[in-house]
Amino acid sequence: MTEQKRPTACLLIIGNEVLSGRTKDKNLGFLAEQLTDIGVRMAEARVVPDEEDVIVAALNEVRAKYDYVFTTGGIGPTHDDITAACVAKAFGKKLIRHPDAVALFEKKYKPEDLNEARLKMTEVAEGAVLVDNPVSQAPGFHIENVYVFAGIPRVMHAMFEGIKHELAGGAQVLSRTIASHAKEGDLASGLGDLQGDFPDVEIGSYPFFSREGQTGVRIVVRTPDEGELETVTDKVCDLIRACGGDPVEETVLGAGN
Amino acid sequence: MTEQKRPTACLLIIGNEVLSGRTKDKNLGFLAEQLTDIGVRMAEARVVPDEEDVIVAALNEVRAKYDYVFTTGGIGPTHDDITAACVAKAFGKKLIRHPDAVALFEKKYKPEDLNEARLKMTEVAEGAVLVDNPVSQAPGFHIENVYVFAGIPRVMHAMFEGIKHELAGGAQVLSRTIASHAKEGDLASGLGDLQGDFPDVEIGSYPFFSREGQTGVRIVVRTPDEGELETVTDKVCDLIRACGGDPVEETVLGAGN
């Protein structure tokens, strides 16, 4: 399967606020699109609470399993910000104040404002490399295959943009989306056969229906192989026509996801 | 800890489309709020791809670990809809066509339209109870502590509303949110002390900053104990004032999350 040749990634969203519904996560969708764009396959995402044992266990599980792990949340100055300590513990490393982060903070804050809480934001697992935060300065960090980002979307997005070039991507996946008012239940059998004929192409089927009662389905064809993309897209369009539908291509080559 | 007395839940979001970024999940935030509202604690959420071994392993892990498991996605008529089969496999049950679902479909479809693909949507793990779908009819199902819902938000939300009364909730968590332009780094030490004094109250700190450069922090106090809620909220307000801020309460008792 083509899927398996691409590097894999996992997003670990850390925070009680996401699990309680107070905060709506906006990083999963962003990261999924970005990784798809560079040929890295997000294989899992997990939301975990601010509990040390849970975070450390999840980190150790997923960093062994996937090529890249990204964490969001829990790197601020307060008592509920425990991500850096958990990463250090997961790697069996000491938690240290990174000298470059301390130097940055010494410029940013007056000496009387640079208290213990703010210095907590300079803490990283020993051996980690800082990840730049162009929005609010307090850095993230990177150790082995784990990248530690802030939870605030603007900051997380900026941090990711800063390290994106470091990631080794695989073949970029090309995709086509074909929409129609054909019925999914009519297309299903033909789509299943098509998937059987092209095992390396990912064929997804996503029904939609509007409040006005209009129903239809979007078929998404994904593969790094441009030739197979064309062939399967044509066959999907034929199938839709055979089921009385009028296929409409919504996206073009290279749209990524 | 008060937290531990509440029943726990896990959401399993099933679908390549969420991991590729094509579809932005809208069920996590909804379910988190709904569960918080009835005193069930969402302890984890996980997004997994349309791969049988991954789904079965995740199901067996989380259904043993949490009081409730909710799945979304993968219950349509096409080849990539494998959730029902995975649930059956996880429970070691046969996959059967539920007679009530078949009867429903026999009313909904003309005989010539009731093909194998559509009948796939009547499949459940043997012993399961159907979950009503008032939006588009194709039902979800429920077996032991696992609830299987559609992925389309309108349908998922309607399915959840239909079974919500079956869930045994715990003490409802009350919350207060106090916003201010005080700096998180100034509040952090006092907040940590306060958390130490009230270990059963969850005190969360969420900084914000606008594009205009205004910064501030929202402190969220959560507990089922109304007295402790008042006491801790007052102490948070005092702390904010001591740091030069002007506390503004944004939510009132019973806001849930």
- Mean local confidence (pLDDT), B214-230: 90
Number of other residues whose CB lies within 10 A of the CB of residue B111: 7
Longest distance between any two alpha carbons in chain B, whole Å: 74
Given a cut of 50, whether residue A133 has pLDDT beyond it is yes
Token output for B37: 């509202």
Structural domains of chain A, ranges and CATH numbers in brackets: 2-166 (3.40.980.10), 174-249 (3.30.70.600)
B256 confidence band (pLDDT: 50, 70, 90): very low
| Residue labelled with tokens 């798809």 | A36
Query: Which residues of chain B have a CB within 8 Å of the CB of A79?
Result: 188, 191-192, 195, 203, 205
Q: What pLDDT does B31 receive?
A: 97
A8 contact partners, CB below 8 Å, separation of at least 6: A40, A41, A42, A43, A65, A66, A67, A68
Q: What pLDDT does A2 receive?
A: 44
pTM above 0.95, yes or no: no
CA distance A152 to chain B (A): 8
- Cβ <8 Å between B185 and A16: no
Rounded-to-integer distance, Cα B218 and Cα B216, Å = 7
Output the average pLDDT for chain B. Answer: 91
Q: Does B46 touch chain A if contact means CB atoms closer than 8 Å?
A: yes
Token output for B255: 């806001």
- Mean local confidence (pLDDT), B231-244: 95
- Mean local confidence (pLDDT), A156-185: 90
- The CA angle B248-B254-B257, to the nearest 5 degrees, is 75
Q: How many helices (H) and strands (E) does chain A have?
A: 9, 12
Q: At what angle do helices A27-37 and A153-163 cross, to 10 degrees?
A: 20
Q: What pLDDT does A151 receive?
A: 96
- Mean local confidence (pLDDT), A38-67: 97
Residue B240: C-alpha distances to residues A115, B186, B223, B248 (Å)? 16, 9, 20, 10
ipTM for the predicted complex comes to 0.88
Among A198-212, A222-236, A243-257, where is mean pLDDT lowest? A243-257
Q: What pLDDT does B210 receive?
A: 66
Structure confidence by residue, pLDDT tens digits, A95-105: 999 999 999 99
Percent of chain A with pLDDT over 90: 79
Among A112-126, B3-17, B131-145, where is mean pLDDT lowest? B3-17
A174 confidence band (pLDDT: 50, 70, 90): confident
Partner-chain residue, chosen from B28, B48, B117, that has the shortest CB–CB distance to A189: B117
Residue ranges of A 78-137 with Cβ closer than 8 A to chain B? 78-81, 113, 115-118, 120-121, 135-136
Residue of chain B with shortest Cα separation from A151: B206
Among A174-178, A207-211, B50-54, where is mean pLDDT lowest? A207-211
Token output for B145: 């502590």
